Amino acid sequence: MTLVGVCSRSFSRHPTLRAEILARYPQTKFNDAGSSLSGDTLVAFLEDCDKAVIALEPISQDVLDRLPRLQVIAKYGVGFDKLDLDGMREKGIRLGWVPGVNRRAVSELALCFMVTLLRRVAPLSRSVAAGDWSPGVGSQLSSKTVGIVGCGHVGKDIAGILRAMGVNVLAHDIIDQRAYYEAAGIKPATLDHLLRTSDIVSLHLPLNASTKGIISSELLTTMKPGAMLINTARGGLVDELALAEALKSGQLSGAAFDVFADEPPGDHPLFALDNFLATPHIGGSTEDSILAMGRAAIQGLDDNRLPEPGVFPL
């Protein structure tokens, strides 16, 4: 009998997903303790498992070395930066992964951040609660230029939403997508041009060796004065301390992050700033996307393949 371990806390709490995976794999155990699993605790949870469903749990070479029974890892979600793909391939451990399964949830959060910052919703809400009924003047998103950095599944989805609103959209991606840009009414741009001309920059990149720290202290200084920065992709893409300084100085007028280099981020200087919004990595956390991600992970326990650089995952 195949034993499956579900590491994800939100999957483990979801009655529909529990029922559906148990119907396929009766010998499934769940993270009912709600523990954040990593290192020794992750190994202890999975040491008797043949297959695993993981979310943000880090699967390092050391973890893989200590799980000789493990044959398949199914990804609950889309990011794979915490998976040692080379180690999985070397050990013959297969990956179940579906790209873009939560794209609309992440796109809607990015859109929410843009409108909330432009209309000054958070500070005005605090003012009203304090008894101050002074109207504030904001800006309309439809009058802005938004730069999309990373035009994959989520980048394309948010770009389509923005274009439907009449927003001028620039896009930067390492892959040549000229046919898509032309059909979608999107203007391709170099990263430098996008940063210098966009009123809002929205990041939709994976985290890997080429993107880690891509929005550096130096690049932040090249952004359009008064611009805003949105990150609903991955922590580690932005120099967060330099961003705090740019927001303090007024060089940037606002920023909103759903992801951080360290999660939870602890006592971070960004949190003391009125022009910064934060959410606790909830981009894919809607009821709709949780079901979609969970069902994709369940299917990934059976439909999977060895990781192959540049082919799977993309």
The pLDDT tens digits of the residues spanning 242-292 come to: 999 999 999 999 999 999 999 999 999 999 999 999 999 999 889 999 999
Identity of the residue numbered 10: S
Q: In what order do the strands lie in the sheet with 72-75?
A: 28-30, 4-6, 51-54, 72-75, 94-96
Model pTM greater than 0.85?
Answer: yes
* Pairwise CA distance, residues 88 & 76, whole Å: 17
Contact 44, 67 (CB under 8 A): no
CA distances from residue 31 to 36, 59, 284, 292 in whole angstroms, order as listed: 9, 16, 19, 20
Looking at residue 226, the DSSP 8-state letter turns out to be: T
Contact 73, 97 (CB under 8 A): no
Instruction: Please name the fold of domain 4-101+287-300.
Output: Rossmann fold (3.40.50)
Which CATH architecture does the domain made up of 103-278 adopt? 3-Layer(aba) Sandwich (3.40)
Mean pLDDT of the chain, nearest integer: 95
Residues 180-228 pLDDT 10s: 999 999 999 999 999 999 999 999 998 888 999 999 999 999 999 999 9
CATH 3.40.50.720 residue ranges for the chain:
4-101+287-300, 103-278
* Pairwise CA distance, residues 61 & 55, whole Å: 17
List residues with catalytic annotation. 234, 263, 281
Report the candidate in 7, 15, 56, 50 with the shortest Cα–Cα distance to residue 258: 56
- Which residues fall within 8 angstroms of residue 196, CB to CB, at 6 or more apart? 222, 223, 224
Token match 């080379």: residue? 86
